Amino acid sequence: MVNLIGTYECKVDAKGRLMVPSALKKQLSPLLQDGFVLKRSVFQPCLELYPMDEWNKLMQKVNGLNRFKKNNNDFIRRFTAGVKTVEVDANGRLLIPKDLVSFAKIDKEIVLSSAINIIEIWDKDKYENAIDAAADDFADLAEEVMGNDEFNGIS
Residue 151 confidence (pLDDT) above 60: no
Q: Which of 19, 42, 23, 28 is CA-nearest to residue 96?
A: 19
- The single-letter code of the amino acid at 151 is F
Q: What is the CATH number of the domain that holds 35?
A: 3.40.1550.20
Residue 53 confidence (pLDDT) above 90: yes
SS3 sequence of 22-82? HHHHHHHHHHHHHCEEEEECCCCCCEEEEEHHHHHHHHHHHHCCCCCCHHHHHHHHHHCCC
Q: Which of 127, 133, 141, 135 is CA-nearest to residue 47?
A: 127
Domain contains 79:
yes
Overall residue count recorded for the chain in this entry: 155
Residue 144 confidence (pLDDT) above 90: no
Question: Quick one: which H or E segment has residue 114?
Answer: strand 109-115
Structural domain of 39 = 7-148
Residue 49 confidence (pLDDT) above 80: yes
Task: Give the pLDDT of residue 119.
Answer: 97
Q: Which of 6, 21, 8, 10 is CA-nearest to residue 106?
A: 10
Residue 150 confidence (pLDDT) above 90: no
Q: What is the mean pLDDT of the chain?
A: 91
pLDDT digits (tens, 9 = 90+) for 70-122: 999 999 999 999 999 999 999 999 999 999 999 999 999 999 999 999 999 99
Residue 69 confidence (pLDDT) above 70: yes
Domain contains 2:
no
Residue 155 confidence (pLDDT) above 90: no
Domain contains 36:
yes
Domain contains 154:
no
Alpha-carbon gap, residue 153 to 25, rounded angstroms: 33
Task: Give the pLDDT of residue 1.
Answer: 67
Domain contains 153:
no
| Tally of domains in the chain | 1
